[in-house]
Each structure stands twice: as C-alpha cells, then as structure tokens.
Structure 1
Amino acid sequence: MYIRKILVAVALIGAVLGFVFVYYVYNAVFSPNTAFQNEEAYVYIPSDANFKEVADQLEPLLENMATFEKVAERKGYISNIKAGKYAIKKGMNNNEIINSLRSRNIPIDVSFNNQETLAKLAGRISMQIEADSISLLNSFNEASFLENTKFNEETALAMYIPNSYEFFWNTSAEGFRDRMSKEYERFWNETRLKKAESIGLKPLEVITLASIVHKETAMVDERPRVAGVYMNRLKKGMLLQADPTVIFASHKTSGDWDKIIKRVLYKDLEIDSPYNTYKYAGLPPGPIAMPDISAIDAVLNYEKNDYYYFVADVKNFGYHKFAKTLSQHNANKQAYVKWMNSQAINR
C-alpha cells in the first residue's frame, strides 16, 4: 500500500511537471509576444547579420525576449538568418514571428526623379535600400558594366528612367544597377524605338534632348512645344542655344553642383565646354539632367510648329512666349530682361 501511494504520488508529480512543461512550451510558442501598440512594426535585417543584431532590433518590440530566443533556437532560426524587411503584427506569437522572419521579405517601392548626377542618384537610392551610396556609385561607374551596356561617363545617367520600382530592401548595389539596365531596355519598347527612328534620333539622343526640355520648362503641357523648337533648330543646323546646357557646363567645369544660377550672363556663354550649346552645334555629349518620362515622350511626340525662339513669360509664370522670327523674340526678350532687372536678379 505504501509503495502504491509513492507510485501514485510520483505519477501525480510527473503529471504536474509535464503539465507545467507543456504549458510553458505552449506559452513560449503560441502566446502573443509583442510589446508595441501599433498594428505592425518593421525590422530591417542587414545582409550577413547575426542573431544578436536581429535580437537587438526585436528586443524593444517583444514582451519576452527569452522565450523568443528559445523558440528561435528550437526552430533553427539562429543559424539561418535571412536579410530583408519584415513585418511583425501586433499580437503575433513567437512561432509566427519566426515564420515571418524566415520567409516573408516585404518588397518596397523605390522611387527617384530629377537627380542631376549619378552621385546624387546614389545618395537618393541609398536612403531606400540597404546598399550605401559609395557602393552604388561605384557600381554605376564600373567600366565593364558601362562597356557591356554601351554607355559611358557622359551618357550613364540616361539609363536610369525616373519612376517607382519594386525592390527588396536588401538589394545589392549591383542588383539595383542591373535591374535598372533591364528597365531601360523595357522602357525602349518597339513603339518608342519606332518614334525615335521616325524623328531621326537615337534613344540616347532623345533622352539628352529631353533633359534640356525638362530643364527649360516644368509645365508638362508645354514640353512638346519646347521640344518642337529644338527639333526645328536641329533640322536647320542652328545652335540650340539652351541656357540649361550653359548652367550644366558651369557646374561641370567648376565642380560645384550646388551653385544656384538663376540668370545666365554673357560671360557664361564663353565657357569652353561641349555642353555649351551657344558654342558647339548639335546635342551635348549626354543628358544634362535626369528627364522624367513626360519630357522623353514630349520629344518623341514633339509639336510640329514654326517656332525657333522662346523666352520666359513674365505675365504667365512657368510658361514661355514663343516666336517665329528673331525680331519677335528680341521684343519678348526685352520684356523678360526688364523684369529680371526689376527683381534685381543678377546671378
């Protein structure tokens, strides 16, 4: 009888301990373990991160870090970290959190527009994906890549078509660059290629002219007309005489890309640079900015007109007054210069 009681007691103790263990395991695996009030929180896990780096990000988000670590070890996550952006939803348990960190890398929208140089583009992209600006810029300028894609130092910016693209946060510099090369080929579809051929320009020439149009006017509805003026000049063999190219030449010559130039002076027109379209005929060697798609399509679908000149319209800011003859243009220009002087805009 005594032994029987002992056995019963041992069995009861074992059952209690088993229940406690099962309860502990259940709580560790399946009980909610989030400590934030928002509907979800995000963690960004770098490439080659170790578990400590992941834990440092998760600790402020979890109620019980110890149970998470035990479940992570049990599920083999500690030795199998995945880079990327991951969401943790409010009320998730450890099992759900680990499953999310294992396989639910969230795509992000990467956008860029109007970056004037590859360096500025690299800076813009580095704020959105894991790759830093230096590695991005180095990948943009890699000699073998430029050779394979038939770009060079002057034309490389043309490859990056401004838009919003879906990437994973942990995309490498080379991964971003290579994707942009494919997007460039996709952008120049059969329709656009035929339009470029019909107006006598190659894709790179279209983008170069579009960059001038983009800089000349921010008004999308006016861009086809401005493009038409420049196409008229190109066909007639006239100098483009585009002020934005002079500003670009000044920036490139001085190396000061942040210098603000609101007024082009006569001395600026003497800058000896192939980008100075007051001195050199035809299009410059490459784009002077990153034109948006509306500017590119404005060139491909330029307005057929008889205008050869234009100047800012001081009575309708943002737009321009167009002229067919030099005498008409000079009259329009006189009004513009008078307004500039009244505003004391000397540079």
Structure 2
Amino acid sequence: MSEQRTHSPQEPQRRPRITHNRKKTRRSKAAAALLYVLFVVGLSAVLATVGWIWANDLLALNKDYTSVIVKVENDESFGEVVNDLKKNGLIEYKFLFHLYGWFSNADDKIAPGTYELNTDMDYRALVTNMSASSSTRQTIDITIPEGYTIDQTFALLEEQGVTTVEKLQDMSANWNYKFTWLKDLPLGDYHRLEGYLFPDTYTFYLGEDAKYVINKMLVNFESKMGDYMDQFTEESQYSLHDIITIASLIEKETDGEDYGTIASVIYNRLENTGAETQGYLQIDATLVYLNGGKVPTEEDKAIDSPYNTYLYKGLPAGPISNPGMKAITAALKPENTNYYYYVLNPETNKHEFTRTYAQHQALVEKYGTANEEG
C-alpha cells in the first residue's frame, strides 16, 4: 500500500507595495505641469508686453508730441536714416524699423530731401512722408539774379539749403544733360554750363538732387529761348554759344537801361576790326571774371587767359555770367549805332557813348579814370 502524500496549495507570492514612490511621481508630474503652465503664462505675458511695447513704437502710440526736421542726403544709407529717426525720438527700436523697412521695401521709397516729421507718425507714415511725393517735404523759393555767375548761383543754392556746391559742380561738369544745344560743350569742367542756368525764381525742395536743380534751370533756359532756337544753324554767323556769351557781357556792363546800345558797341568792335579798337572788346567785366570779382587793375590786363578781352581779340572763351532775357534779346537784336566806347557818368549813373577814342578820353578826363569803361 503506497503512501499518499498530500500537497497543500502554494500561496501566490505577493509583490511589495510601493505606495510612497507612486505618490512622489504624481507630485513631480503635477509640479512639472504647473511649471509648464507658469512658463507658458509668463512667456505669453512677456511676449504680450514686448508686443505691446513694439506695437506702441510701430503704431506711434502713447508718445509725447514732437515735431522735428529730418534731412536725408543723396548718398545716405537706410541705416543712417534709421539712426536719424532714433536720434530725433521718432522711433524707439531701430531693429524693428529695419525689419519693417525690409518687409515694406522702405529703402526704395525714401528720397533725399528735408522733411518735417512728428511723433504722431507711425512707421508707415514716416516712410510715406520721406518719399519724393511727400507733402511734408520742405520747399524754398529762390531768386537767381540776372548776371550771377555759376559760382555765385551754386553758393546761393547751398546757402539756402537746396544742395551743396560740390554736388552742383559735379553734376554740372560730369552729367550729360539731354539738350542738343549742349552737345558741343565737353564734359569735365563745371563752367561749361556758365550762361545757361537761366536767372529766375525757382521752387526747390530742401536737400534736392543737384542733377534735378541744374536740369530745371536748363529746361527754363530752353523754354525762355523758345523760337529763337530755330535761327541757330551751321550757316549762322553767330552760334547760340556766341550769343549767350555776348548776352553775358551785356548783362555785366549795362546800367539797366542801355542793353541794346551796349550790344551795338560789342558788335561794332567784333565786326569792324579795322577800327581803332582793332577787334579787341576790352571789357572790364571779363577781368573781374578772371580775378574772382575784384576791381580790375592794370596787372589784370596781362592775365593770359582766353577770357581776357584786353589780351585776345574777339569774344572770350565763353559766357562770364548767366544773362536774363533782356540781355539775350539785346544780343539777338542789337541797336544800330556807330559807337565803340562808353563811360559811366557818376552823377547820373548812366553810360555816355562815343564813336572815337579821342571823344572817349575827353569823357574819361571829365569823369575820372575810375569810371573808364568800354
């Protein structure tokens, strides 16, 4: 008889409880979630604050009103413009304006000039009001007197804030303006436009492009000459350049009323080389042009220059001033006289004209050598 063995069922092995670790994990996850929420809320608050601050600058909000004059130069970069806006308190954040400028192509829209801007203008308004068509772009009316030289004209334009002498000289010497009557005047010397910058009252923008300033005066010259331009051909006795040169002499010599008579003296001397004057114009104004505007001396008569009408016969090398329409008309339609000389009467401040050198000398002795002219 075999022995029976009884086996009691084996109790399953229980796993150890880890209640404490589970609680710790739940607390860590809750803390991380809270930190994330706080981070998101904080970041949102920061971004909202920064965004609001940037929006204030972008949209020109909450700024104290200030009006300033901003000048944009021809060769000024967009970065330099931004610096000026920052310096004048028109913007707070240069990088933000740079970003807006890149997005809106502001660099292509801003034009040289002088503008009146204010802190009520947002970024878009600032760019718009620095464009070529801006109503805030400041203008000035300038009168160029008859007889001003090109140097005097350029100095006046610089003095009034239109542009600089240096830029005007550069654009006069080196820019090829599209006028057929200028084609024979070689580039390189700014004096080539002497005589053609028509004296008149002009409206210019402050900080204007020098090329535009000169072109505006040349357009005016062509307009004023009108139908007269048609008479200058290769067969003409006098070219346009000759006529403007003669007109410039008349403008500098006239007493204000004797344009046509002065013109007759010049033509008589030019065309009658067998007369006492032998083809010499002997006009003191050409010496003044050479010596920088001083009263001419005997020494000046020896200056070796094609502008010296005491040393060289005929017309000077070119105009010595920018003549007005009265002088140009006199050069085109001189009076018919037999005068070769004139002298200023100091009592009347008018010229007296004579035919011979002896008659001229008699008047010189009467009025004094300081009044000797022509």
* TM tier, smaller: 0.5 to 0.7
Superposed CA RMSD in Å reads: 4.8
Tell me if structure 2 keeps the 8 A contact 1:112–1:164: yes
Tell me if structure 1 keeps the 8 A contact 2:139–2:203: yes
CA-CA distance at 1:259 after TM superposition: 6.6
Which residue is equivalent to 1:171?
209
Tell me if structure 1 keeps the 8 A contact 2:245–2:315: yes
Which residue is equivalent to 2:347?
315
Q: Does 1:100 align with 2:132?
A: no
SS in structure 2 at match of 1:158: coil
Matching residue's letter, 1:286:
G
Which residue is equivalent to 1:162?
199
Which residue is equivalent to 1:61?
88
Tell me if structure 2 keeps the 8 A contact 1:211–1:288: yes
Q: How does 1:1-347 map to 2 (within 5 A)?
A: 27-28=56-57, 29-31=59-61, 33=63, 36=66, 41-51=69-79, 53-62=80-89, 65-66=91-92, 70=96, 73-74=99-100, 76=102, 80-81=106-107, 82-90=110-118, 92-95=120-123, 96-102=125-131, 104=133, 106=137, 108=139, 114=147, 116=149, 128=161, 133=166, 136-142=168-174, 149-152=183-186, 156-165=193-202, 169=207, 171=209, 184-191=221-228, 193-194=230-231, 200-217=237-254, 219-237=255-273, 238=275, 239-244=279-284, 247=287, 251=290, 257-258=291-292, 260-262=294-296, 264-265=297-298, 269=301, 273-317=305-349, 319-337=350-368, 340=370
CA-CA distance at 1:268 after TM superposition: 5.2
Which residue is equivalent to 1:4?
none
CA-CA distance at 1:311 after TM superposition: 0.5
User: CA, structure 1 residues 304+99, in 2 after alignment: closer, same or farther (shift >3 Å)?
Assistant: same
CA distance in 2, matches of 1:103, 1:330: 60
Tell me if structure 1 keeps the 8 A contact 2:86–2:94: no
Residue by residue over 1:268-326, the C-alpha shift from the partner in whole angstroms, topping out at 9 and shown as x without a partner, is 55555544434543322322333344422332243344433210111123x31222444
Larger Rg: 2
TM-score (norm 2): 0.63
CA distance in 1, matches of 2:69, 2:224: 35
Matching residue's letter, 1:99:
T
CA distance in 2, matches of 1:57, 1:298: 51
CA distance in 2, matches of 1:144, 1:54: 30
Q: Percent identity?
A: 19
Matching residue's letter, 1:70:
L
CA distance in 1, matches of 2:246, 2:232: 14
User: CA, structure 1 residues 103+293, in 2 after alignment: closer, same or farther (shift >3 Å)?
Assistant: closer
Which range moved further: 15-24 or 280-289?
15-24
* Higher relative contact order, structure no. (Cα contacts within 8 Å, ≥ 6 residues apart): 1
Residue by residue over 1:178-222, the C-alpha shift from the partner in whole angstroms, topping out at 9 and shown as x without a partner, is 6666555444422354499999532111111122212223x3323
User: CA, structure 1 residues 243+30, in 2 after alignment: closer, same or farther (shift >3 Å)?
Assistant: same
Residue by residue over 1:134-179, the C-alpha shift from the partner in whole angstroms, topping out at 9 and shown as x without a partner, is x654554459889971114685523433345566635265x66666
User: CA, structure 1 residues 203+32, in 2 after alignment: closer, same or farther (shift >3 Å)?
Assistant: farther
Unpaired runs of 5+ residues, structure 1, are: 1-9, 252-256
User: CA, structure 1 residues 87+277, in 2 after alignment: closer, same or farther (shift >3 Å)?
Assistant: closer
User: CA, structure 1 residues 298+108, in 2 after alignment: closer, same or farther (shift >3 Å)?
Assistant: farther
Matching residue's letter, 1:234:
L
Question: How many residues align structurally?
Answer: 316
Tell me if structure 2 keeps the 8 A contact 1:71–1:94: no
CA distance in 2, matches of 1:21, 1:184: 58
CA distance in 2, matches of 1:241, 1:166: 37
CA distance in 2, matches of 1:62, 1:311: 63
Unpaired runs of 5+ residues, structure 2, are: 1-37
